[in-house]
Chains A and B, each alone.
Chain A
């Protein structure tokens, strides 16, 4: 079956514009995660969805960042009024459940460049 997919693979935008990043998890996976990989910073947890429960937003860096997950499947990460420091690779991952930290399967990421 298909793995986690993300789109677009690359996005260049101007400072101040809004961007939307999409993640399609593996079919049947109930848990979905967003991470950010900034140069020299390592990976940073952003937000987590488990089924239809309210998401864990504890990692979102500012109120310009938001995410939703429609129908328990596809997720969209939205960054409003982008800043240059938002430039990073945004990674999505899914797992079958959140029980006992099952293996997370990562997508290829969206590389965002804010000019």
Chain B
């Protein structure tokens, strides 16, 4: 199965700053079938990005995704208070789907 490694584990930033989250796969992700989810405490995850670079419905354009093959990035251009959360990447390009271990974006 494809192993996804996210870095950093925790990102301490202030509102208005730029956040850059990384997701690295142990092998190439087919068709860039890479998604990002946002999870806030006590809530279910929410899909925010799919196909590596397409925003899900209702996701603001300060969120952007990039990458292909084994290296993917989620960027939040200017952090809003509601963006502080845990972010997970997931690949769905192989028959066995997997998640990364998450990156927590916390208020500095």
A in complex with B: no
**Which B positions have Cβ atoms within 8 angstroms of A?**
none
Using a CB–CB distance below 8 Å, which chain A residues touch chain B? none
